[in-house]
Amino acid sequence: MTMENDVVLVTDAGSGIGRGGEAQAFHEGITVHGTTAITTWPQEMHIVFDEDLPPFPVQEAVTRVWEETAEGRRLAHLHEAERMPPA
């Protein structure tokens, strides 16, 4: 896993984000405690539910916990907390 860019843009019509759309992940931080690494970042997605309507924005905070193994770092835990835009 590397995070060389501050912003990652993902566009995929076949993804789980509606009928297509895009997601932006903003590099926030990596904390290492012994053999455990914790990555955190905010992410914003614009989901297309209906082609006649503008994309629906969804924000979330993403945390991943990685453990060092003989095969390299392995994902041990993933947490995503969605925050809907104000009405």
Say what the pLDDT of residue 69 is. 93
Ordered DSSP codes for 51-74: TTSPPEEEEEEEEEEEEEETTEEE
Give the contacts of 2 (CB within 8 A, at least 6 positions apart): none
* pTM of the predicted structure, to 2 decimals: 0.60
Separation CA 53–CA 14 (nearest Å): 19
pLDDT in tens, the chain (87 residues): 334 444 444 444 444 445 555 667 777 788 999 999 999 888 888 888 888 988 888 888 889 999 999 999 999 999 988 876 665
Say what the pLDDT of residue 50 is. 84
Say what the pLDDT of residue 29 is. 85
What's the chain's length in residues? 87
Return the CATH number of the domain spanning residue range 7-83: 3.10.450.50
